[in-house]
Structure 1
């Protein structure tokens, strides 16, 4: 059980105010006997309520006491001196009635003690109800934030799956073309990039390669593809590495090639390959 969440749920404030159901009351009393933290929170709430009530205490004006004393008559009432009426038929004397004075006169006012107690209780009830609403609002905001974050994560995953599906469809379309060959360009050095897959169709001369495994070079550098034809490197063009890009298609056609290689050159390309910056190389075995 998460004791802190139970304390912040607002049920302890409702218990102190006496607004909980009988079942909730038994639950709070049971848990407070088990967990000292809950009992301590109940004690703190009771003390806070008492202190808040004391802050709302107001002494009644002195004029109230004077008006009250004027309304009260502590003197012994004098008996009525009126002569009793003689009943001729019964021969009995009627006793004079003693007047009865009410404790509260028509202009008397009650004490303010009950008023400030009611005001204090109402203020406490509104205070704890506001705290309860604030706690519920924070919980709702946290829930909305978690749902929004979860929704954004799901959208990112969905977009990622869509991109992967599109890339798979593109690769599958290349493989299905008649005459398309798949050539593996292996890293020249072990500490360099991973192998690159190149699709070559000798019938059409079309060349495309997957660039997912290549690391983006510095801004002043570019990757350049080379086709080795009859033992000589032929420029196949430079290309960029973008996050959304999966396949790169060359502008030139190569009906014949002994091998393909990729080097890192200055932006704009080079007329001849820089052998020291060669990244991958793969033979066609044509």
Structure 2
């Protein structure tokens, strides 16, 4: 057998593509077992087809490029049979291209399916996070309600002052754990470069003690803030101060003020 003629006939490509009859397959298989050169060629064709599935886009298959990658030479077809040799040569690489296209389509389909699975999984995780956040928010809300309804809580209304008569806030003071809960829904967002500062006051003589600034006021949605207060407060006030806060309240920026009710 002329190995070179047999290889250039294109029959090995048809064999790889599964386009031969049962008897032809058997014949080629026997030749492959007999001639190591044919086995090597078959392995190279299979490797080239698999390589194409990674190198060529499934949406635009370059017919000429595929022939080059398969290393097929249509201009050097040698007749095995005068009626069939040309057909075998062309059909050989054409069948390989069909095989490569099928593999490409399969890989593309699997990739799309994998992307869909990942998208669904991500959406499920996001939904679970949202559900968990909602549960946490609900738990926090219930906990806050229980705190505000505690019989030991001292409520203090803070009314608007001077030019800020529309402002308002409310303090819930828990003396047992030295904590106040400030509901500041009635205050506007702090302007740029400014910050709300909370004060504990004793009235005689008037002595303010800073309870700190509310730096996250503008970004907080519910406008309820937990603040430590170990002072014997007689009143609470809120002023608008420069960023970083002030050592003493700016009285011209006193927006709200409320006196603690000491009546039994």
Would you say the 8 A contact 2:200–2:231 is kept in 1? Answer: no
1:270 aligns with 2:247: yes
* Aligned with 1:261 (options 222, 233, 237): 237
2-structure distance, mates of 1:169, 1:116: 79
User: What TM-score do the two structures reach when normalised by structure 1?
Assistant: 0.49
2-structure distance, mates of 1:159, 1:136: 34
1:210 aligns with 2:226: no
1-structure distance, mates of 2:131, 2:240: 33
2-structure distance, mates of 1:160, 1:224: 30
1:184 aligns with 2:157: yes
2-structure distance, mates of 1:183, 1:252: 15
Question: Where do 5+ consecutive residues of structure 1 fail to align?
Answer: 1-47, 70-108
* Aligned with 1:252 (options 199, 220, 231): 231
Relative to structure 1, is the Cα distance of residues 135 and 238 closer, same or farther in structure 2, using a 3 angstrom cutoff? Answer: same
The equivalent of 2:209 in structure 1 is 235
User: RMSD over aligned Cα, in angstroms?
Assistant: 4.5
1-structure distance, mates of 2:250, 2:106: 72
2-structure distance, mates of 1:221, 1:54: 69
1:127 aligns with 2:76: no
1:58 aligns with 2:37: no
Q: Secondary structure at the match of 1:168?
A: helix
Per-residue CA deviation, residues 78-106 of structure 1 (Å, 9 max, x unaligned), is: xxxxxxxxxxxxxxxxxxxxxxxxxxxxx
Per-residue CA deviation, residues 24-52 of structure 1 (Å, 9 max, x unaligned), is: xxxxxxxxxxxxxxxxxxxxxxxx99x67
* Aligned with 1:155 (options 126, 129, 149): 129
RCO higher in structure (CA 8 A, sep ≥6): 2
User: What TM-score do the two structures reach when normalised by structure 2?
Assistant: 0.52
Give the drift of 1:124: 1.5
Question: Where do 5+ consecutive residues of structure 2 fail to align?
Answer: 1-59
2-structure distance, mates of 1:121, 1:236: 84
Would you say the 8 A contact 1:53–1:117 is kept in 2? Answer: no
**Bigger strand fraction:** 2
Per-residue CA deviation, residues 189-248 of structure 1 (Å, 9 max, x unaligned), is: 8989974331135x7694502366464676775513143635835325324444798411
Relative to structure 1, is the Cα distance of residues 160 and 227 closer, same or farther in structure 2, using a 3 angstrom cutoff? Answer: farther
Would you say the 8 A contact 1:52–1:120 is kept in 2? Answer: no
